[in-house]
């Protein structure tokens, strides 16, 4: 059965839209987009459209590819102190001459809509209230929407990034799953992935997960977005894995829309916190 991220996101966003309409002012997101990366432009467009449909305000700061580090730092500091701004998002990747880790650390964690700031990552691993990274949060929202049990299940994650693998593992642990994290150095990978009740592929290699790596009846979450022959494909060999999986996310229209949905929910949460202060 397909885990339809687009329809799920639309349903959850409709409920959020009703909440936003009841606010005294619009939550505002500032996006910093550096350079001309086509994929980044596409992602930003999706975020802009979703937020606009929800009655939120989005402003995109288009910066030249050759911009210097200090100029980006100055913009972030300005947005940090602007009380009319509730969320700040640095669209990744950014040009290599810029220090992305430092720029993310500069964003006020109370406006960190992506959940990448060290403070928010720390709050997650301390099991305290904070903003969760959007892709892991979107995955959990999708599983909950389909009422897929998590407690007691064996979750295997392929990929250990700070954006997906590591935070997602903690979120599953907090829901009482048993979690195994695998990566490029893992030996006998198929023997591990075949144990998974829930298998998450976030390794960035097209069609990496094949049928022989998946247990019959497993739930398969494909985080990968790879362009092959001008088509988008995931990290899972969907055509051959789909018949044996109980649930599987497609690419596109799977995890991607849920990430943007989670961002919108994060912006709403940041707005509520800041309005209370």
Structure tokens at 65: 């590819």
Our measurement of the distance from residue 188's CA atom to the centroid of its chain's CA atoms, rounded to an integer in Å, reads: 28
Structure tokens at 108: 């006020």
Structure tokens at 176: 């009482």
Could you give the CA distance from residue 254 to residue 275 in angstroms, rounded to a whole number?
33
Q: Classify 146 as helix, strand or coil.
A: coil
CA angle at 49 for the pair 251 and 247, rounded to the nearest 5°: 25
CB contact at 8 A, 234 and 225: yes
Could you give the CA distance from residue 30 to residue 65 in angstroms, rounded to a whole number?
18
Structure tokens at 204: 């960035």
CA angle at 146 for the pair 227 and 251, rounded to the nearest 5°: 5
CA angle at 69 for the pair 63 and 75, rounded to the nearest 5°: 55
CB contact at 8 A, 81 and 274: no
Could you give the CA distance from residue 121 to residue 124 in angstroms, rounded to a whole number?
5
- Nearest-CA neighbor of 139 among 277, 259, 236, 264? 259
Q: What residues are labeled active site?
A: 47, 91, 114
In angstroms, the Cα distances linking 29 to 44, 131, 247 are: 12, 15, 34
């Amino acid at each position: 059965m397909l885990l339809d991220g687009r329809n799920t996101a639309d349903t959850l966003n409709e409920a959020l839209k009703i909440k936003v309409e009841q606010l005294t002012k619009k939550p505002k997101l500032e996006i910093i987009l550096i350079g001309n990366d086509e994929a980044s432009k596409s992602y930003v467009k999706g975020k802009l459209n979703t937020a606009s449909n929800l009655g939120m305000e989005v402003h995109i700061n288009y910066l030249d590819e050759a911009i210097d580090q200090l100029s980006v730092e100055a913009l972030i500091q300005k947005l940090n102190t602007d009380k009319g701004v509730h969320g700040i998002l640095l669209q990744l990747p950014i040009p290599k001459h810029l220090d992305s880790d430092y720029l993310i650390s500069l964003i006020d964690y109370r406006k960190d809509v992506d959940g990448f700031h060290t403070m928010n990552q720390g709050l997650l691993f301390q099991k305290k209230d904070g903003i969760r990274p959007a892709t892991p949060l979107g995955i959990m929202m999708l599983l909950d929407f389909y009422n897929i049990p998590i407690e007691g299940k064996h979750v295997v994650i392929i990929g250990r990034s700070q954006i997906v693998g590591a935070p997602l593992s903690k979120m599953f642990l907090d829901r009482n799953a048993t979690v195994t994290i695998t990566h490029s150095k893992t030996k006998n990978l198929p023997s591990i992935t075949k144990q998974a009740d829930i298998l998450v592929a976030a390794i960035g290699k097209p069609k990496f997960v094949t049928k022989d790596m998946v247990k019959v009846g497993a739930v398969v979450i494909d985080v990968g977005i790879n362009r092959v022959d001008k088509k988008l494909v995931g990290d899972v060999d969907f055509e051959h894995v789909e018949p044996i999986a109980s649930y599987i996310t497609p690419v596109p229209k799977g995890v991607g829309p849920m990430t943007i949905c989670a961002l919108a929910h994060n912006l709403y949460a940041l707005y509520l916190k800041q309005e209370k202060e």
